[in-house]
A and B are shown apart, each in its own frame.
Chain A
Amino acid sequence: MNNINKLYKLHNSNQPYIIYKSNNGFKLYSDFSKKIILKSKIDVENFLNFKSNKKRTKKTDLFIGFFGYELLNNLIDIKLPKQNSLNFYKGIFYKPESVISINNLNYSNSYKKLNKNFKININKKTYTKIFDRFKKRIRAGDTYQIKICTKYKSKSKVDPLDFFSRLSEFNLAPEAFMIRDKDFSIVSCSPENLINKKGEQISTKPIAGTVKKIDKMNKSKALKYFKKNIKENKEHNMIVDMERNDLSKICVPLSVKVSKEKIIEEYRDLFHYVSLIKGKIKKSVNNLQIIKAMMPGGSVIGCPKINTLKLLNNQEKENRNIYTGSFGYIKFNGDMRFNIIIRSILNFKNISEVAVASGVVIDSNANREFNENYIKAKALIDLY
């Protein structure tokens, strides 16, 4: 049986499976022998407490899954206030017994238009109020950049593989993934890598700045656009310094370097303004410490992280669930790869949830940011 047929067969069965973008295509993870459900900080600490073994390098020698936003807060001792919640899982990791490669998905389901009745959780008026309140906090120096999250929800039953394959067709994001389990599915075209750890080397690749590929826009024009845009530059600079900081917590002094500073990466439909920061991990540091230093990923929260998280959490009425959490894997040899979960759809209890966020800095404009949120959400909602 060839690999794509194995995927179709899995999909038509009831078995859970995961697809994650790889260098040349996708990897399909299945035949899970273990499923670890994480409910608390202690669960995460116990889960990450396994001793890595350099010799364990089989393709299946890993745990793959996600940490939700709440769990990542709890991990750095930030408690969330009472929020409305779907009671979705806080974190799950799976141990696969099968890992195979797939070149491309082209899965064509008899696609029917679905109910597109998405409702937004905060309207423009409320958004503007929150925005103005945060701007005051920026003026007072309590935060320098803060991301307001808006959520779109709709009742619908989706075919996650159909969604994922169409999404990958439009937007082949380097950190795209999907999870299909019995009672939920997640589809994401995340472009952002948060942790890439191989041996003692670690890197993070924050994105701050996105521009659509409209006619005549090419790589050098995109670079010019960003270099000229002072606001985009300031936002990006802040994230670079914050990621340098987070890496410096766990890296050998003086090993942290900005190895690519503000470059343009080209994807099928858009350009991203990206930096790459690298470091060498201290011998005494374990994977739990790395995760606590880096997560939740700063570029989707704001800066400085702790104070900004507190400001955000106190004003958000709804649990973020997976949004701005991290998906990825931990190999038994200690290597890790994690993304930031953005541009994602969570399907749970026949509800689809799309969350998006955009940043408030001193010179941003409420109207523009609200619309940017809408544009980001629309790319996903258009799949319905």
Chain B
Amino acid sequence: MIYIIDHNDSFTFNVVHQFSKFDEVICDNYDRVNNDILEKASSIVLSPGPGNPKNYPKSSKIYKKYKGKKRIIGICLGFQQILYNEGAKIVEQKNIYHGFQSEIKVTNNSKIFNNNSVFKVGRYHSLKLKEPFNKSNFNITMRCKITNVAMAFENNLDKIYGFQFHPESFLTLNGNFLIKKILSA
């Protein structure tokens, strides 16, 4: 079972819909998380949402508690939430992408996706990961083809994954494939 932790977002149920293709999904808002379900879940997904990771200490707590014990996937805000907890700085970016389809490229760090493959994805983010960011076992595995901004990471040791873009958006062409690979990695 996959437990999706919502951050009052207007895209989270697209995530729920997408993950339902692969497993049973339960979703609750971050301020109403059920600890029993959390314990039972095989994977935890931190949803997209408005604002900054530092606004969601409850989600940070969940991440820290289950890091290394369960598969954890972060999308957009969730991606930032995980990296923030790993010491990264999340900052405003010059060019803001809301409802924008752009091309991203897989880097040679990925153990799941083929190096240099290109995906068309939907983006909704004001903030980004400040680089350089170095943390052992965390590798940036996808980047924006034009701006080079970090678009995905993998931590294959602890099974922690994140996408800055939205695999569930109708603007992302191979979203189901991306999720399938992450869930079976």
- Residues on A facing B (Cβ under 8 Å): 138-145, 230, 233-238, 240-242, 244-246, 248-249, 253-254, 256, 258, 261, 298, 303-307, 361-362
Contact = CB atoms under 8 A, between A and B. Distances in A.
B10 A242 contact: yes
A238 B51 contact: no
Contact of A258 (B96, B99, B122, B170): B170
Top 3 closest pairs, chain A to chain B, by CB: A141-B126, A253-B20, A237-B99
A241 B166 contact: yes
A140 B52 contact: yes
A254 B10 contact: no
A256 to B, nearest CB: 6
B101 A237 contact: yes
Interface stretch (B11-19, B67-75, B131-139, B143-151): B11-19
Contact of B98 (A142, A240, A361): A361
A246 B99 contact: no
Contact of A238 (B77, B124, B127): B124
Contact of A145 (B20, B52, B98): B98
B126 A140 contact: yes
B9 interface: yes
Contacts of B50: 141-144, 304, 307
A233 B99 contact: yes
Contact of B52 (A141, A248, A249, A256): A141
B86 interface: no
Given A143-B50, A238-B99, A138 B10 contact: no
A246 B10 contact: yes
Does more than half of chain B's interface fall in helix, strand or loop, or is it mixed?
Answer: mixed
Which among A138, A144, A306 has the highest number of chain B CB atoms within 10 Å?
A144
B155 interface: no
Contact of B10 (A236, A237, A303): A303
Which among B25, B170, B171 has the highest number of chain A CB atoms within 10 Å?
B170
A248 B17 contact: yes
B100 interface: yes
B21 interface: yes
A249 B13 contact: yes
B13 A236 contact: no
27 contacts: A138-B98, A141-B52, A141-B77, A142-B50, A145-B98, A145-B99, A234-B99, A236-B99, A237-B101, A237-B122, A238-B98, A241-B124, A241-B169, A241-B170, A242-B11, A244-B170, A245-B9, A245-B13, A248-B16, A249-B13, A254-B17, A304-B8, A304-B50, A306-B8, A307-B50, A361-B99, A362-B98
